[in-house]
Chain A
Amino acid sequence: MGKYIGKSVYRVEDDRFVTGKGKYTDDIVLPGMVYVAFVRSPYAHARILSIDTSQARAAEGVVGVFTGEDECGQYGVPCGWQVNFKNGETMREPKQPLLAVGKVRFVGEPVAVVVAESLAQARDAAELVQVDYEELPAVVDPKAAMEPGAPLVHEEFPDNAAFDWCLGNDRAEVEAALANAHHVTELHYRQNRLTPNAIEPRSYIADYNAVEDKWTLYTATQNPHLIRLLLCAFTLGIPEHKVHVVSYDVGGGFGSKIFHYREEALVTWLSKQVGRPVKWTADRSEAFLMDCHGRDHVVHARMGFDAEGKIVAVLADEYCNMGAYLSTFAPAIPTYLHGTLFQGLYTTPLIHVNVVAPFTHTTPVDALRGAGRPEATYLLERLIETGAREMGMDPVEIRKKNFIPPFDGVETPGYQTQVALQYDSGNYEGALNKLLSIVDYEEFRAQQEAARKEGRYLGIGFSTYIEACGIAPSAVVGALGARAGLYEVGHVRVQPTGKVSVYTGSHSHGQGHETTFAQIVADMLGISIDDVEVVHGDTEKVAFGMGTYGSRSLAVGGSAIVKSVEKILEKGARIAAHKLECAVEDLEYSEGKWTVKGTDRSVSFGEVALTAYVPHVYPQGEEPGLDFSSFYDPVNFTYPFGAHAAIVEVDVETGKVQILRYVAVDDVGNVINPMIVDGQVHGGVVHGIGQALLEEVVYDSDGQLLTGSYMDYTMPRADDVPFIETDRTTTPCPHNPLGVKGVGEAGTIASPAAIVNAVVDALWPLGVRDIQMPLTPLRVWQAIQEASN
């Protein structure tokens, strides 16, 4: 299209990031600011008998001490998505008060808050708050939570289910197909529970200004406007125009900074109470306890095949942990972002998924990079490869037999799945073929054979995935229970000098919006990228927006910007035509100027911009100015897909898994900045390596979090990660103007299944059939021992 799109333009934001000049919420110090420390529950489940704050109140520097008995205990943070029971019963939605009232339901739940002149004083005084608890029995496992007699998390409900939901074909029909199948593969496993680990902890500063009767909330969030809406309309009941939300640089989120948390609402409430700016920044321990966790499904999955290896049915029964309360998007994750992906890339005619979502005495569980889709991919890709091996078929061949044939969504229609979605465009075998050519599959099988003779165990695992991104068409998600629309806003303001400010409602927490969006605008206008500034993260600069999650920024946010630039070009052409004294139809626009076709008469973008603001010679009836805002509501999700392969070596003496090669072929539609896309794939794959090999949140039976520090929760490090080889195929999205699909989650979605498949492939001759993630050396070693006995 021009000189920027499709090029690896260096990220403009990196200058400030790598030189330590990024501006994060915790960097902000306001005059008169006070600090907050929380008193948190040490128990997973307990009755609060009494709270004595007298000593804390008397401590040096203390401005105030508040508990759930104060006004703030009446407010609760809302849930943004309603998923009802399959029998029609309404989702059970407990109140999540800003501070615990009467009972605590997970370790870390805030019980009291101390506000003081300094952070040290706040923390010291928090230690003086005496809370008397009566400890009660807790339940942490989602399946155990549904057994009769399990401790109730919320006494007002008859059992612990938030909902019991299903999707797909009639269950009896699916069961019958499995009963008649030539072969049925069955897996029981736990999708390990993960914690998000953004490098910047959550941080909030609320500043109430009594003169204007108005708050400024500085917050480390992925979606400032959504936070304003939830905070004002649902949590505190304050007028939305009275809160200005500002979110400067944000150091990672992975989903955890989508959600509207209690601390955020509480500092806002506190600021008016104490009449001072109030700051809270989580320490790492609080991040482990309070940032919503991800995954945690207990799964029983079955896949039936005919004699040729064609899939005849998929059936899954899952218990998906909600934690103690329903976080902002929690109910949508294991349902409409999970069950809807069970078609995968395959022509499976019969699919049924049942999800029971219990409350437990654990940290709330919500979206974590991929959110529901890694879990779906893992389920399908483990089943199909296990099925292939059980039937003595090749895992590549069995996929090719089952792939949905190519379709572009234009000449050939989108693919209607059995589970509600309609895929936009895809060429699944194309991606796998490209992967195979890079991997040299046959050569590897020969190597593997040779290595086994030397007692070395190599394995290859594949994962061919699809995801639903570009979240989301408002009407569709509304019908599925979303309580918000999921369009995006793009506002483009041409300044009189021809410089361009772009205001986007999507928000970068590391994705490089300031570069990617500038590339698009610069190319469309034919101007230098240095003349384009991208502004985000401020509700008073950006008219509205829904933020960044679900790989939506480019597909939805980028499309909104395109709409505004198109409006600018249309109006600019009318101004140019007036200046050149010709008809609009006689003009063509390229390289930053309008030219009368077939002549050398032209007027530049800069001249038109100046004319729009200094309209001395101007088309009659045309408004001055060159400034447009657009809302873009996508007509469908986008469906990126791809094929990944992991090649591993397993040390059968120690159980240590080493990833020798990792190859990712992704199809994310058109690519604006290949370097940023590669970076997202790299980060996503590393995230998935963490889930597959290292990471797991562990609670003991009392509900105590045992993995509450990096001594016990293992993040991937450089020596756990191989060189990641990336390549792409390109199947444009047919329904957005950029033809883009989104890439933020692809690596995380594909990689766990590829790695586990590779390890099982390596150990299959030893009798190993399945290993529970994370595949730590101990678990792998145990699986080998069990198989040999």
Chain B
Amino acid sequence: MKLRGEGFVRAPVERVWQYLHDPAVLREITPFVRQLEQVEGGNYTTESEVKVGPIRGTFRGKLRIEDIEPLKEFVVVLEQGSTMGNSTVQMRIRLVEEDDGTRIEYEGDARMSGLLARMGQRLIGSTVKKVAGEFFTNLQHRLQEDWA
């Protein structure tokens, strides 16, 4: 399933880039995420607690960041498993400098199995939009707190 969207934060590209690569920040601002530990380089382990409609449970998995073009774009590959099924999300994230801040575009696709596929497929489009919205809002707040 294809995913695509964008957000905007009032901060320069360099700062946004730095925050998007800081596990401690990401853990704090990403909805559902409870744990995000760097294993080595661009590899992390993750754990999230999800509650979306009928989809509830703990998801554990791996996150990998690759194809990094500093200050411009990178690819996030997130593989998560739970008793409700497994999901693989591959997302290209692009930062675009604008006059008063940074536009963050994302584009990718998600594959799901098990109960997730049966129940979650119809929810994922709207959920990703909602989660992304919260993420950008949180990111903006965090940037303002740190740099105001």
Residues of A within 8 A of B (CB): 39-43, 107, 126-127, 285, 288, 700, 702, 704-709, 711-712
Contact = CB atoms under 8 A, between A and B. Distances in A.
Nearest to A700: B117
Interface in B110-136: 111-119, 121-122
A127 B112 contact: no
A601 to B, nearest CB: 73
Nearest to B112: A704
Given A42-B115, A702-B113, A705-B118, 16 more contacts: A42-B114, A43-B113, A43-B114, A107-B113, A107-B114, A126-B83, A127-B83, A285-B118, A285-B119, A700-B117, A702-B111, A704-B112, A706-B118, A707-B118, A709-B119, A712-B122
Contact of A704 (B57, B118, B122): B118
A42 B85 contact: yes
Contacts of A700: 117
30 contacts: A39-B83, A40-B114, A42-B85, A42-B86, A42-B113, A42-B114, A43-B113, A107-B113, A107-B114, A107-B117, A126-B83, A127-B57, A285-B115, A285-B119, A700-B117, A702-B111, A704-B112, A704-B118, A704-B121, A705-B117, A706-B117, A706-B118, A706-B121, A708-B115, A708-B117, A708-B119, A709-B118, A709-B119, A711-B119, A711-B122
Interface residues of B, number: 16
Contacts of B57: 127
A702 B57 CA distance: 23
Contacts of A39: 83
A706 B1 CA distance: 12
Contacts of A704: 112-114, 117-118, 121
Nearest to B88: A135
Contacts of B83: 39, 126-127
A700 B119 CA distance: 13
Contacts of B85: 42
B118 A708 contact: yes
A707 B115 CA distance: 10
A558 B114 CA distance: 45
Nearest to B86: A42
Nearest to B115: A285
A704 B119 CA distance: 11
Chain A, interface SS category = loop
A38 to B, nearest CB: 11
Nearest to A40: B114
A116 to B, nearest CB: 15
B87 to A, nearest CB: 10
Contacts of B115: 42, 285, 708
A42 B113 CA distance: 5
Contacts of A41: 114
B48 to A, nearest CB: 15
A107 B54 CA distance: 19
A285 B115 CA distance: 8
Nearest to B117: A704
B21 to A, nearest CB: 30
Contacts of A709: 54, 118-119
Nearest to A711: B122
Nearest to B87: A42
B56 to A, nearest CB: 11
Interface string B86-122: 1000000000000000000000000111111111011
Nearest to B58: A127
Interface string B45-80: 000000000100100000000000000000000000
B86 A288 contact: no
Contacts of B122: 711-712
B85 to A, nearest CB: 4
Contacts of B116: 42
A207 to B, nearest CB: 29
A389 B112 CA distance: 46
Nearest to B57: A127
A700 B86 CA distance: 15
A598 to B, nearest CB: 75
A708 B118 CA distance: 5
Interface string B6-47: 000000000000000000000000000000000000000000
Contacts of B119: 285, 708-709, 711
Contacts of A43: 113-114
A369 B122 CA distance: 30
Contacts of A705: 117-118
Contacts of B86: 42
A340 B117 CA distance: 39
Contacts of B113: 42-43, 107, 702, 704
Nearest to A705: B118
A72 B55 CA distance: 32
A42 B83 CA distance: 9
Contact of B118 (A126, A127, A288): A288
A705 B122 CA distance: 12
Contacts of B117: 107, 700, 704-706, 708
Contacts of A708: 115, 117-119
A39 B83 CA distance: 8
Nearest to B111: A702
Nearest to A44: B113
